[in-house]
Chain A
Amino acid sequence: MSAALAIDVRGMTKRFGKRTVVDDVDLAVATGEIVGFLGPNGSGKTTTIRMICGLLRPDAGEGTVLGLDVRTQSAEIKRQVGYMTQRFSFYEDLTIAENLTFVARLYELDPVDEAVAKTLDGLGLTSRKDQLAGTLSGGWKQRLALAACIMHQPKLLLLDEPTAGVDPKARREFWDEIHRLAGDGLTVLVSTHYMDEAERCHRIGYIAYGRMLATGTVEEVVRGSGLVTFVVHGALKPAQIRSLEATDGVEQVAPFGATLHVVGTDRGKLEAALEPLKREAGIKVEPGETSLEDVFIKFMTGAQERAA
């Protein structure tokens, strides 16, 4: 079983002082899979990724990454993993080509020049190779960082919020690239805040307050949440919205343009709550589709209450 799993870790725990940042997290990622790692800020996504690539020593937990022991073989793991940090962490005072050469030499790629030329070509940056990396735009920095991370042809790619602060077009291209790489057999674990990006993953894991709350495909996670959603069309008065929010059975009320998404776990109670609105003139209530975002809001609220 573990041969087919690129990441297979159990009970990963990390404490900083008295604070437990990652608490008993299990994670299994199959080879060639793209797994999205979701969760609010400070939920432990970065810490988990850093433990997987050997940048942090776990306080508890065990398992393998690419068949290597995550606790004792971090040096070997580093050679086969590409890790793209949240913040651009290549040298802004080096040129694009100099950065790539540095990376190629650290990984002892042979011949260096060929590896650099190939990467520059793939990026379409050959003509700008002597430009300082610090002068690149956010989108280009991100592409350069990705290219540098996969130069040594890793088997596993760890991406920590790679598209933060990148425009939609660049994001789209970035994800196309990720899928192309996964098609070639690369395993990808990517953390993100964006729901649309989560939907481009084969599977997702949701982490909040250091605990893994749900894993599976997007459909599985949505279905597993047991949430029911109704969409209310028509203009509601603020008072009506407030009273709806206070009604038993209604867990989330969120405006989406001219419509209102009303979400709850208990279908019966939810229908009863919406019953009075159906009789109002100009207002239409119909069943809607529960979005991933609704599910995450529920997780976050739940996790907060448990943590409090």
Chain B
Amino acid sequence: MIALFSPRRLGAILAKEFVQMRRDRITFAMMLAVPIVQLLLFGYAINNDPRGLPAAVLALGQDRYTRAVVSALEVSNYYRFGERPQSAAEAESLMAKGEISFLVTIPSDFGTRVERADEPRILVEADATDPAAASGAVSALGTIASRALLRAQGREPVTDPAGASGDSLSFVVHRRYNPENITQYNIVPGLLGVILQMTMVMMTAMALTREIERGTMENLLAMPATAGEIMLGKVLPYLAIGAVQVVIVLGAAKLLFAVPFLGGLGLLLTCVLVFVLALVLLGYTISTVARTQLQAMQLTFFFFLPSLMLSGFMFPFAGMPGWAQALGELFPLTHFLRIIRAIMLKGAGLSDIGDEVFYLSLFVPVYAGLALMRFRSTLD
């Protein structure tokens, strides 16, 4: 009679599983390294209450009250006032390009109105294509400016800043590009990038490992097909699949979510094509590294999660520390998100987003080169 449970048999299976786990180096490394890397990465990088957002102040007057408010804003760590636009048109263009998230305009009669206690106003324009980034910073602005004003008037800031600002200073807030603060406007165009990335990279990551696992690679290599032919032959079919996805997501964005579509369709589709090409080549590069389909999947996810977190899809890009932003720039998704939001929500043209399109297209030769370098036309 065989016992229903034998610790020795269980031990045999456990030992075998551990040995196999150890043999599969990539998987083993992933299981140990991924949680650590991602915990540290996301733990420090992600910030829902972003500070240091790029902003610009357009001071039309030169009185002391204006200067007091401007300097108070500049020393606060909520904003990073880098640009000093000289005109409203210049400021407008900075916002369209996405170089600033906020524009603070202090009207020329600000000083006179303060002295007359005649409802001095400050105009705040926020780039609301990312509602999360806009809201926190807008409310902080009021506090900082009111206190500065009180101090400049020689009055002690009262402990309740809301009360202080209530009677002396008023803010006019414009939520640009997304006046109703609708989250879908931000999420839906971004989803196009995320969905494309998910499917394109994963499918092409299997391209070579599938041939290797099924034993057909040896035959393919024995026949007269070159590395470039195999690469293009493997990735181009996915461009067609990507095209279908684009139509579905853009159609849904328009019909179901009523996301505004301000920019040119031709420009958008060109950018999408470049993005998808970069993605399929990235997937193919993964395919030249992984030895099994399972490893290809794991490598895809290893890439997928950081690019989701650090691209500005889930959390405001500008709110991340500098090193995380630098890392984020390395993902095609980051650039694609800026492009698609700019085109769809801001109606940006090629002159506004030329730099981003250039960075995005850089990924194509880089990934193709990497893949061709990694590809082996022999079985060595």
Contact = CB atoms under 8 A, between A and B. Distances in A.
Nearest to B222: A83
Interface string B210-224: 000011111101111
A103 B223 CA distance: 8
Contacts of B380: 56-57
B2 interface: no
Contacts, number: 47
Contacts of A103: 223
* Most chain A C-beta atoms within 10 Å of own C-beta, residue among B217, B218, B222, B378: B222
Contacts of A55: 218, 221-222, 378-379
Interface in B324-380: 378-380
A81 B219 CA distance: 12
A122 B223 CA distance: 22
B225 interface: yes
Given A89-B215, A90-B216, A92-B214, A78 B224 contact: yes
A163 interface: no
Contact-residue size bin, chain B (C-beta under 8 Å from the other chain): 10 to 19
A56 B379 contact: yes
Contact of A85 (B215, B225, B378): B215
A92 B222 CA distance: 18
Given A55-B218, A85-B215, A107 B224 contact: yes
A78 B221 CA distance: 9
A16 to B, nearest CB: 9
A4 to B, nearest CB: 25
Contact of A53 (B214, B217, B222, B226): B222
A106 interface: yes
A92 B379 CA distance: 21
B219 A85 contact: yes
Contacts of B218: 55, 85, 89
Nearest to A89: B219
A137 B57 CA distance: 78
Interface in A47-77: 50, 53-57, 74-75
Nearest to A76: B224
Contacts of A88: 215
A225 B320 CA distance: 78
Interface string B143-181: 000000000000000000000000000000000000000
A89 B216 contact: yes
A75 B217 CA distance: 16
A88 B214 CA distance: 9
A187 B172 CA distance: 88
A89 B215 CA distance: 5
Contact of B222 (A57, A85, A87): A85
Contacts of A57: 378, 380
A87 B378 contact: no
Nearest to B225: A106
A75 B228 CA distance: 14
Contact of A87 (B215, B224, B225): B215
Interface in B203-252: 214-219, 221-226
A92 B218 CA distance: 15
A91 interface: yes
Interface string A186-217: 00000000000000000000000000000000
Nearest to A148: B219
Interface of A: 50, 53-57, 74-75, 78-79, 81, 83, 85, 87-92, 103, 106-107
Name the 4 nearest CB pairs between A and B, nearest first: A89-B219, A83-B222, A87-B215, A106-B223
6 contacts: A55-B221, A56-B379, A81-B222, A85-B222, A89-B218, A107-B224
